[in-house]
């Protein structure tokens, strides 16, 4: 385990003695380093191999039926965490526990059997759907791949899934092509396709980012309703802090491959503690800028995750940085129940 986190660190307000059954997803000291491709000639003259430290020693857990929001600037490693948990990419090190089982190195038939339980909704529904496949067929496809049900049964499941995502009457939507739907409706099709396999875990990666603001709230409400109805657990990855506020139980803030603060949603919005979280919250537009003074404005851009800054990775941009900040990496500490923070000020 790398510096920064204690063995067994468990954000999410989870008591150490709590029933493990209550936890659906747990990641422990997860790392993903992507090797940087070097020009052939340069690679002949150096043995040093650089890597993008996309996810660097991240630990958290998500309780069943809850939504963890993962927020942070572009390039901070949010999507990579989602892909690691879904086992779409291999981790460099660390552990992924799902339903109490270590799935980090699962492969073959065992991994295939796990796939239906974990689904993902990406940002662009048009890119997620085959333009030449009628939407009914697209939703049915996973049932065929996993050999679930007979022909008539499959069709009934598809019609039911369409109803669940409020595309009514479902018979009207079944024969349409993706181009014959609005953006919001297409994302509902993607949700129906994910739901059809009866998953327990859903990664929503900027799932509402491309949807018109006017229908975004309806989609978020639908996601919330589906969560309650099917006891789903979400990892909700977003740039949109307003959406996160609506749907998330807890928020994890990421900066350059590391978690910097994890807390219940209300705490993050009312009393963010980490300077980076404060800056993110202060960047939310407010109707009357005069209402809020002393805003913490982020300077510069997120540095490259190849050779990240020493000590606290946020130190080159942090207005409170002291000498120790560039020398030593801050450990994640629980400053109040369920509120974790990695900063030398605490």
Ligand X SMILES: Nc1ncnc2c1ncn2[C@@H]1O[C@H](COP(=O)(O)OP(=O)(O)OP(=O)(O)O)[C@@H](O)[C@H]1O
Report whether 92 contacts 274 (CB < 8 A): no
- Binding of ligand X at residue 69 (CB under 6 A)? no
Task: Please report whether residue 252 would count as binding ligand X according to CB under 6 A.
Answer: no
Q: Which phi and psi (to 5°) does residue 180 adopt?
A: -90, 15
Nearer to ligand X, 70 or 161 (CB): 70
| 77/330 with CB nearer ligand SF4 | 330
CB 14 → ligand SF4: shortest distance, Å? 24
Per CB under 5 A, 29 contacts Mg ion? no
One of 79, 128, 238, 267 touching Mg ion (CB under 5 A): 79
Integer CA distances (angstroms), 320 to 3, 168, 199, 335, in order: 22, 54, 44, 18
Extract the tokens encoding 317: 């941009």
Residue 54 touches which of Mg ion, ligand X, ligand SF4, none (Cβ within 5-8 Å per kind):
ligand X
How far apart CA 172 and CA 194 sit, in angstroms, is 20
Q: Which residues of 191-208 are buried (b: 16+ CB within 10 A; e: fewer)?
A: bbbbbbbebbbbbbbbbb
Q: Rule CB under 6 A: is residue 77 a binding residue for ligand X?
A: yes
- Dihedral of CA 206/211/213/217: which sign? negative
Look up residue 324 and give its two tokens. 């120790």
Stretch that binds Mg ion, among 78-86, 119-127, 167-175, 177-185 (CB under 5 A): 78-86
Q: CA 56, CA 342: separation in Å to the nearest integer?
A: 14
Task: Find the part of the chain contacting ligand X (CB under 6 A) among 5-13, 73-81, 103-111, 291-299.
Answer: 73-81
Site string for ligand X, 10-49 (x = CB under 6 A): ------------------------x---------------
What's the chain's Rg over C-alpha atoms?
A: 21
| Number of residues lying near Mg ion (CB under 5 A) | 1
Site for ligand X in 142-201 (CB under 6 A): none
* HSE of 188, CA atoms in CB hemisphere, 13 A: 28
Bridge partners (DSSP) listed for residue 62? 25
Per-residue tokens: 220:
């978020």
Choice between 2 and 169, CB closer to ligand SF4:
2
Out of 5, 24, 54, 318, the only residue in the binding site for ligand X (CB under 6 A) is 54
- When asked if residue 72 is in the footprint of ligand SF4 (CB under 6 A), the reply is no
Tell me the H-state helices in 115-197: 125-128, 135-145, 151-164, 170-173, 183-195
**Interface pick for ligand SF4 out of 170, 178, 275, 305 (rule CB under 6 A):** 275
Question: How far apart are CB 91 and ligand X at their closest, in Å?
Answer: 13
String marking each residue 291-330 x if it binds ligand SF4 according to CB under 6 A:
---------------------x-xx--x-xx---x----x
Using the rule CB under 6 A, give the single segment among 91-99, 212-220, 225-233, 338-346 that binds ligand SF4: 338-346
Of 283, 311, 284, the residue nearest 299 (C-alpha): 283
Upstream peptide bond of 169 is cis (omega within 30 degrees of 0) = yes
Under the criterion CB under 6 A, does residue 94 sit at the interface with ligand X?
Answer: no
Kindly list the residues in this chain that would bind ligand X in the complex (CB under 6 A): 34, 52, 54, 72, 74-80, 239, 305
Binding site for ligand SF4 (CB under 6 A): 275, 312, 314-315, 318, 320-321, 325, 330, 343-345
């Amino acid at each position: 385990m790398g510096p920064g986190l204690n063995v067994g660190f468990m954000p999410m307000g989870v008591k150490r003695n709590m029933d493990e059954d209550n936890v659906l997803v747990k990641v422990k000291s997860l790392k993903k380093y992507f090797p940087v491709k070097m020009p052939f000639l340069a690679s002949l003259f150096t043995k040093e191999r650089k890597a993008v430290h996309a996810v660097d020693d991240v630990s958290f857990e998500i309780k069943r039926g809850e939504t963890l929001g993962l927020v942070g600037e572009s390039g901070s490693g949010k999507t990579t965490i989602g892909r690691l948990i879904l086992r779409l990419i291999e981790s460099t090190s660390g552990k992924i526990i799902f339903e109490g089982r270590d799935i980090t190195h699962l492969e073959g038939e065992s991994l295939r059997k796990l796939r239906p339980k974990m689904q993902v909704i990406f940002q662009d529904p048009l890119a997620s759907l085959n333009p030449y496949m009628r939407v009914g067929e697209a939703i049915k496809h996973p049932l065929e791949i996993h050999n679930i049900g007979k022909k008539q049964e499959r069709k009934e499941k598809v019609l039911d899934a369409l109803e669940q995502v409020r595309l009514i009457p479902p018979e009207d939507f079944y024969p349409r092509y993706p181009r014959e739907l609005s953006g919001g409706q297409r994302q509902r099709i993607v949700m129906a396709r994910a739901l059809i396999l009866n998953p327990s875990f859903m990664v929503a990666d900027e799932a509402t980012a491309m949807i018109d603001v006017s229908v975004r709230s309806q989609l978020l409400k639908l996601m919330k309703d589906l969560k309650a109805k099917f006891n789903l657990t979400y990892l909700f990855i977003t740039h949109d802090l307003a959406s996160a506020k609506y749907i998330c139980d807890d928020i994890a803030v990421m900066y350059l491959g590391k978690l910097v603060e994890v807390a219940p949603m209300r705490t993050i919005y009312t009393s963010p503690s980490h300077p980076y979280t404060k800056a993110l919250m202060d960047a939310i537009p407010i109707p009357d800028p005069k209402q809020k003074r002393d805003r913490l404005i982020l300077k510069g851009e997120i540095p490259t995750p190849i050779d990240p800054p020493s000590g606290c990775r946020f130190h080159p941009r942090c207005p409170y940085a002291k000498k120790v900040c560039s020398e030593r990496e801050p450990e994640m500490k629980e400053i109040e129940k369920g509120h974790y923070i990695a900063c030398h000020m605490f």
